[in-house]
Copies of this chain bind each other. A is one copy, B any other.
């Protein structure tokens, strides 16, 4: 296992490496239609291996009412993606493997495979995220530099402004860029030099997107959950009302991460968002010591992985047609909890879970997180 050298040390779970065959199967599964991180987790829990899940996909989707069969990623395609990635120095890693950030692995929508480029040891060190407005470069430099000196890895989004300043100021201490697109689609492209500098100096870049994936607007919030999720806490340096950084902060809070905010005068609109965060319970930061002191007690704590509603439970028997009709009838566009579905349907939890999985693989169900589902 890779271990950080000196500086603060985060709790690290025991690691295990996938076989090449299992890595290919897992990549095939997550690249198949209607399989997102939560469904992946559910399928792996039900069937034990990605291979077994892949074999059952067509049947499950058909029962869920799929009108045309979803695409299943082939073994050759997956192998080609792994090979192409490796040529770029990118490894696809599963939660629990060396180089997969251990805090990120605790999310219930953690990427089943994460494309990691750079220094795996850096990914095992405690990380603090820095986000904020594009103009907050000065403060970004200050906090990022001091966090690096305190032994923390600074994680951010490689964007213009604060992200860029935070990465630059923490080059010496190690910094991680989280990409919204594939590793070969750097956005903005003028930051390719910055990324190169990061990778040269103990840093790393991560993405859950395939090579060749150009980032779209909707990929950024999705990416932001990785920034907050991989960190012990998120520092919001400046944020106006309704700024994107506030969404990242909310996500961080939902993920159980610390939220830090730098205050400002009520007369300064650039501080409206951070002041609001503090009102809502974020820790006020004027000094890096405020951040370090707050995360120190967490560092020692063992990392808790989500129990996973289905992880250890097999699929008990096949639902009957009337089960499917009844459970599907209880679903609509308004999210309902799985607990309520079990209660209202009178079916066993295992039957309800199976019907939901079938609907999901048929592209008819959306999981909202927090155990809520809705029909598409």
Contacts and interface: CB of A to CB of B under 8 A. Distances in A.
Integer count of this chain's copies in the complex: 2
Interface residues of A, number: 19
A284 B266 CA distance: 10
A265 B271 contact: yes
Interface string A35-78: 00000000000000000000000000000000000000000000
B263 A265 contact: yes
Contacts of A246: none
A264 to B, nearest CB: 5
Contacts of A264: 263-265
B265 A275 contact: no
Interface in A252-281: 262-266, 268, 271-272, 275-276, 278-279
A280 to B, nearest CB: 10
Nearest to A265: B264
A262 B268 contact: no
A278 to B, nearest CB: 5
Nearest to A277: B284
A224 to B, nearest CB: 25
A340 interface: no
Contacts of A278: 263, 278, 284
Contacts of A275: 263, 284, 286
A59 to B, nearest CB: 56
Nearest to A266: B286
A268 B266 contact: no
Interface in A288-344: 290
A83 interface: no
Contacts of A276: 286
A287 interface: yes
A249 to B, nearest CB: 15
Contacts of A290: 279
Contact of A268 (B265, B283, B285, B287): B265
Contacts of A262: 265-266
Contacts of A285: 266
A265 to B, nearest CB: 5
A139 B265 CA distance: 10
A339 B271 CA distance: 49
Contacts of A283: 279
Q: Which of A265, A272, A290 has the most CB of B within 10 A?
A: A265
User: Lowest 7 CB-CB distances: which A-B pairs, in order?
Assistant: A263-B263, A266-B286, A264-B265, A278-B284, A275-B286, A279-B284, A263-B275
Interface of A: 139, 262-266, 268, 271-272, 275-276, 278-279, 283-287, 290
9 contacts: A262-B265, A263-B263, A263-B266, A264-B264, A265-B265, A266-B286, A266-B287, A272-B286, A275-B286
Given A263-B271, A265-B265, A265-B268, 18 more contacts: A139-B266, A262-B266, A263-B263, A263-B264, A263-B266, A263-B275, A263-B278, A264-B264, A264-B265, A265-B271, A266-B286, A272-B286, A275-B284, A275-B286, A278-B278, A278-B284, A279-B284, A279-B290
